[in-house]
Amino acid sequence: MKSAGVIRIAAGLCGRYRLLSTFRYVPAAVRDRVSDFVADHRYRWFGKKDRCMAPSDVESRFRE
């Protein structure tokens, strides 16, 4: 269940992300362990943001 959603989303994306959909052939137990590992380490690898990065035209709607 954990990794199945990522694979379904990747199948609908373009470019190199679509390559992730080939992991549907890997057993779910292995995929879920990798998913847990990435979830445990994502802030260390990618950092943590104080806020979501929104395009400037969307952000301007909330300033008033």
At residue 57, the pLDDT reads 64
At residue 26, the pLDDT reads 92
What's the mean pLDDT in 33-49? 88
Question: pLDDT band at 58, cuts 50/70/90?
Answer: low
Q: Nearest to residue 32, comparing CAs of 8, 55, 5?
A: 5
Residues in the chain: 64
Task: Flag whether pLDDT at 56 surpasses 70.
Answer: no
Q: Nearest to residue 23, comparing CAs of 8, 1, 13?
A: 8
Residue with more model confidence, 29 or 17 = 29
